[in-house]
Amino acid sequence: MEYFGRILKTLETTNGFKYHPKCDKLRLIQLGFADDLLLVFRGDTTSITHLCDCFLKYSAASGLIANISKSSVYFGGADISKKALVAWDKLCYPKSAGGINLIHVQIWNKAAIAKLLWNLSKKKDTLWIQWVHIYSVKQGLVWDTYPKQASWVIQNIFKEKRYVEEVGYDCTRFQAMKNFSIKEFYQKLAALGKLATKDRLTKWGMNVDIKCHLCLTENEIVSHLFFECQFASNVWNKMLRWKGISRQAFRWKEELEWMINNCKGKSASSHIYRIAIAACIYHVWKERNLRIF
């Protein structure tokens, strides 16, 4: 492979050979994974011919021949659009996890993508991160980057910050994290759920009165509705007293962190606490719906 790398290096000065448009700054042609080889370059006839010559030269010297039946050609930037064959939702089967609920694959995926965003923010020294920084982030901040020209995968990594914000992180707090646990992030995302609170409906472009129907003073966002609203915090304070916990109701983020830190185990007390918090959220939500509909 080293010899093949040296032959490919000659393409740098070969007339007419063009790198893949998104790899020319890195002068990248070849990627190897175990015994797989990926060659990337611009798909014009001259470049293909030059690369083919290199490959044949290497083949003649080493005696290795590419297995055509195991080789594939991938195109990008051509006018071909293809939709996914399997609906994403159908891949989202729940699995029992023994935690506070079920593992939801779709939410787990979001948490895993958030880790990629965190890796990008940390500028970990790997090839793909260098690549994204050179072509998408450029001189800016990962947090403020919205790359419109990047691939679907890269765009979705950057879009992930809306979920990071929803669970309560801002740019500074996110970057200050020393480690990123997909499991912990998943728990926060799962707890946030997908409730159509009024702020969410407004974000989706629906024209609704944004006031909380339980207190009629604050705007209805998830964090307000379940613990910060006077109505909900009264309910939760009573539950806390019933459980013998002598503290006032925290805000949404702190409540979640408290639960993750204090109710991890399988003890009866932890179970009851998790059931109580779920019941409280459920009934506050039900009461809110009764008052609206």
Contact between 210 and Zn ion per CB under 5 A: no
- The DSSP secondary-structure symbol of 243 reads T
**From 52-60, 163-171, 215-223, 256-264, span contacting Zn ion (CB under 5 A):** 215-223
CB of 120 to Zn ion, least distance (A): 37
Q: Is 214 in the site for Zn ion (CB under 5 A)?
A: yes
The smaller minimum CB distance to Zn ion, of residues 17 and 226, is found at: 226
In the complex with Zn ion, the residue whose CB is nearer, 145 or 197, is 197
Identify the H or E element spanning 33: strand 30-33
| Binding status of residue 111 toward Zn ion by CB under 5 A | no
Instruction: Report if residue 167 touches Zn ion, rule: CB under 5 A.
Output: no
Site for Zn ion (CB under 5 A): which residue of 100, 111, 229, 281? 229
Q: Is 29 in the site for Zn ion (CB under 5 A)?
A: no
Judged by CB under 5 A, the residue of 23, 103, 210, 215 near Zn ion is: 215
Residue 240 binds Zn ion, judged by CB under 5 A: no
Cβ of residue 112: shortest distance to Zn ion, in angstroms? Answer: 34
Q: For residue 30, what are the β-bridge partners? A: 39
d(CA 285, CA 275): 15
R_g (Cα) of the chain, nearest Å: 26
Separation between Cα atoms, residue 161 and residue 122, nearest integer Å:
14
In this structure, are strands 30-33 and 36-39 parallel, antiparallel, or unpaired? antiparallel
Nearest-5° Cα angle at 95, 92 to 101:
105
Q: How far is the CB of 220 from Zn ion (least distance, A)?
A: 7
Query: Quick one: how far is CA 37 from the chain centroid?
Result: 28
State yes or no: residue 212 binds Zn ion (CB under 5 A): yes
Angle between helices 152-159 and 105-121 (to 10 degrees): 90
Contacts with Zn ion by CB under 5 A lie at: 212, 214-215, 218, 229
